[in-house]
Amino acid sequence: MTVAAQKTYRAIHVAPSGDLELTERPLLDPPAGHVRLRVEACGICNTDARPVHPHPETEPGIVPGHEVVGVIDAIGPEVSGGWRAGQRVGVGFLAGHCGYCAACGHGDFVRCQNQVQTGIGVDGGYAEYMTARQNALVAIPDEFTSVEAAPLLCAGLTTYNGILRAAPRPGSTVAIQGIGGLGHLGIQYARKMGMNTVAIARGTAKEQVARELGADHYIDAADPDAAVAALQALGGVDLIVATAASGAASSALIAALATNGKLVIVGASADPITVSTGDLIGRGIQVLGSLTGRPVENEENLAFALREGVRPVIEQTSLSEAPAAFARMQSGQARFRMVLVP
């Protein structure tokens, strides 16, 4: 069936029961300032769980997914910037900034006060097609497959920018806490940036893969005190990037930071981070948060990953298998990123 003849498309939406459900939606032209993508791949991120809950039948179910790679097949009015039909592009967590709020006025497009999130505030990429705002688009290098590129648009950018925000010097000791969808990429980025790279996870099951990904050291965090002692034995850590969603686990590692060390939180959790005034004042410790990044930073991230050989470890599945793939991600069994291919 050609695009011209096609009237509907398949998508996975959140049903009123809270379950992920295959549905069909009308294929509409993109509005002003937007393009329509024919989706080629979409990664499954833990944040996709946010809209997956029961809701009234009168409330339209959202289509999750914010690691989307597709081909532009229709362009709405008032689209600028040289985007063209047939071009392969990506869409990450941020669905496009407004350009006129206080944050945008200061150039902080990530924290735009009117920006919604892909797959949470607007329909995402668990679908054959999706519509995206032009200033959310990321150009995808030809050398990447769509399946490879998709997880780099969120999991990759999040860890890449998390490390850069802390500005470690080459050769610094950088620890990646958690070896999952984000952490397995964080290990690669840290190593390719020239860091003495430490992987931290509970148990020893992931030690071999962590070392294969580039970790110089592996720390078992099952016993927090022993983990801190092992990190201190390395001379302390200049930077810890916390990808695991646990404030308590991240807080426990602050004692392992070297003087003037930094803890960067990229995995959101409900429980707070606890740090003493003595650590902040006496030891110069900094606790920072980092939220994804701008499309231009994503293009820089993709260029770095392409040049240095950073690649996601993927389990690929079909759109119709999205509920099972989503459950596998939530169970922690995915190694390490589930990617849907319509």
In the DSSP assignment, the letter for residue 109 is G
Q: Could you tell me which CATH class the domain 155-289 is placed in?
A: alpha beta
233-257 pLDDT per residue, tens? 999 999 999 998 789 999 999 999 9
Q: What sign results for the dihedral spanned by CA atoms 122, 125, 126, 130?
A: positive
pTM of the model: 0.96
Domain ranges of the chain: 8-140+312-341, 155-289
- Six-digit token string for 143: 């050398």
Confirm if 83 and 69 have CB atoms less than 8 A apart. no
Q: Is residue 2 scored above 50 in pLDDT? A: no
Q: Is residue 127 scored above 60 in pLDDT? A: yes
Burial class of residue 138, CB neighbours in 10 A (0-12, 13-18, 19+): buried
Mean pLDDT rounded to a whole number for the chain: 96
Q: Which are the contacts of 135, defined by CB distance < 8 A and separation ≥ 6?
A: 81, 96, 97, 99, 109, 295
Confirm if 82 and 56 have CB atoms less than 8 A apart. no
285-322 pLDDT per residue, tens? 999 999 999 999 999 999 999 999 999 999 999 999 99
Q: Pairing state of beta strands 67-75 and 286-289?
A: unpaired
Please name the CATH architecture into which domain 8-140+312-341 falls: Alpha-Beta Complex (3.90)
User: Dmax of the chain from CA atoms?
Assistant: 68
Confirm if 302 and 140 have CB atoms less than 8 A apart. yes
d(CA 292, CA 161): 7
Q: What sign results for the dihedral spanned by CA atoms 284, 285, 291, 294?
A: positive
Q: Which whole number is the average pLDDT over 14-31?
A: 97
